[in-house]
């Protein structure tokens, strides 16, 4: 089984972050700057889902990860109970 390179994983991450909405896998493939084999893309998506960075739904894939700085900003503006 082929393992994706870090460059390929980062390319997929950037493309999903830039989408800012649910994107179908076929559309994701078209938006990637370089071609990626389907099995390689699916392996990357599995990894990103396991690491909590994306959600894969019946409608497509969506980026969900928020960096710590964004989470702290959200927390400081929230209501404390």
* Domain containing residue 56: CATH number: 1.10.10.10
For the chain, the straight-line distance linking the first and the last C-alpha, in angstroms and rounded, comes to 50
In a domain, 44, yes or no: yes
List, in order, residues 6 or more apart from 3 with CB less than 8 Å away: 43
Mean pLDDT over 69-81 rounds to: 69
Give the tens place of pLDDT for each residue, 10-44. 999 999 999 989 999 999 999 999 999 999 999 99
Q: Total domain count for the chain?
A: 1
Q: φ and ψ at 32, to 5 degrees?
A: -65, 140
The confidence score (pLDDT) of residue 80 equals: 60
Residue 81 lies in a domain: no
- How much is the average pLDDT of 1-10? 91
Question: Can you give the pLDDT at residue 71?
Answer: 67
Q: Is residue 67 part of a domain?
A: yes
What is the per-residue pLDDT across 41-58, written as a single tens digit (0 to 9) for each?
A: 999 999 999 999 999 999
Of 6, 41, 50, 3, nearest to 31 by C-alpha is 41
* Residue 19, in any domain of the structure: yes
Report yes or no on 33 lying in a domain. yes
The verdict on residue 1 lying in a domain is no
Determine the pLDDT at residue 30: 96
Q: Give the percent of the chain with pLDDT over 90.
A: 74
Domain that holds residue 29: 6-76
């Amino acid at each position: 089984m082929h393992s994706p390179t870090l460059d390929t994983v980062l390319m997929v991450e950037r493309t999903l972050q830039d989408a800012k909405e649910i994107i179908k896998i076929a559309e994701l493939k078209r938006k990637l700057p370089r071609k990626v084999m389907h099995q390689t893309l699916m392996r990357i998506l599995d990894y990103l889902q396991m690491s909590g960075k994306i959600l894969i739904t019946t409608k497509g894939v969506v980026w969900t990860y928020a960096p710590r700085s964004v989470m702290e900003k959200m927390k400081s503006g929230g209501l404390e109970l």
